Structure 1
Amino acid sequence: MIVYDPMAPDSTQGRRSDQLVQSIDIAATMLDYAGIERPETFQGKSLRGLVTGSDEPVRDYVFTENLWSTHFGNPRIEAVQDKRWKYIRYYAEASIAGEPPVYEELYDIVSDPGELHNLIDDTTHAETLKRLKLAWKTMLTKARGTGSPKVLRYTVDSEKDYRSK
């Protein structure tokens, strides 16, 4: 992510950080700069400290999900990563009902940045995998919450209904 603050001191201009950030942090950061309190429902965190020179971690893990299987072959996935490891879960179905993954991957992204060597079956990384699965479950629950979805499910029939209105 690239952030430019023309009012930041010269000492922080052009600075790089390896902290874990996400696009959901942009809104929280803008609210912080505007002096507006971040709503409790926001999952993003302010990056203002990083922009102004701090190197305090924003988060320990990044959670990613693609909820849309497409005709281009993009499967539904969920993934979690820290600064060294990435754990990915692939699903055959488009539902988000908690079904088991059909395929999993584990990568050491420091020694294998191209993600060429899947270590999911390497028992020497069992503790790392266990830690990442726990982080995945925690972050998934936080991202989705425990109540009913607040958006309508989209179906082919709803597209027809929408177009006819």
Structure 2
Amino acid sequence: PAPDLYQGQSLLPLVRGEAPQNWRTDFFAEHLMDRDNVPKWEGVRTERFVYARYFGQSPVYEFLHDLHVDPDQLENFADDPNYQDTLSRLRQRTDAFKAEYESAREAHR
């Protein structure tokens, strides 16, 4: 087994052709490195949507991509009124993931 510090689940059931138990429907990603020309960002990916927000700058900039409509992620739907409920839900999900992982990081310092 992996150490408790690592998050996630074994991919072995997938390799065996089995349906994994409690398989997640989304995941959190972040880039926190302080690098020139690479802004910090965090977000959530679901089967249908990709949400990312760039922070540490003013104003915060958000992307929302609908993979069913735009699989190449060329169009940003964050300002589209038809996507405001989705945007709100993914913002909240990002905040929840961020709080969970910050808590885990603090526990291992």
User: The TM-score by the shorter chain falls in which range?
Assistant: 0.7 to 0.9
Distance 2:89 2:44 in 1: 11
The structure whose RCO (Cα within 8 Å, separation 6+) is larger is 2
Task: Compare CA radii of gyration and give the structure with the larger one.
Answer: 1
For residue 68 of structure 1, what is the amino acid of its counterpart? Answer: M
Cα distance, 1:64 vs. partner? Answer: 0.6
For residue 56 of structure 2, what is the amino acid of its counterpart? Answer: A
Q: Alignment partner for residue 35 of structure 2, among 42, 45, 70?
A: 70
Q: In structure 1, list runs of 5 or more residues that go unmatched.
A: 1-30, 32-37, 94-99, 152-165
Q: Does 1:91 pair with 2:55?
A: yes
Q: Does 1:119 pair with 2:83?
A: no
State the identity %. Answer: 32
8 Å CA contact 1:77, 1:90 repeated in 2: yes
SS of alignment partner, residue 51 of structure 2: strand
For residue 79 of structure 1, what is the amino acid of its counterpart? Answer: G
Aligned residues: 108
Q: Does 1:44 pair with 2:8?
A: yes
Cα RMSD of the aligned pairs, angstroms, is 2.4
Distance 1:101 1:78 in 2: 15
Q: In the TM superposition, what whole-angstrom CA distance separates every residue of 1:117-160 from its partner, at most 9, and x where no partner exists?
A: 10001111111112111211111112111774745xxxxxxxxx
Change (3 A) 1:48 1:146: closer
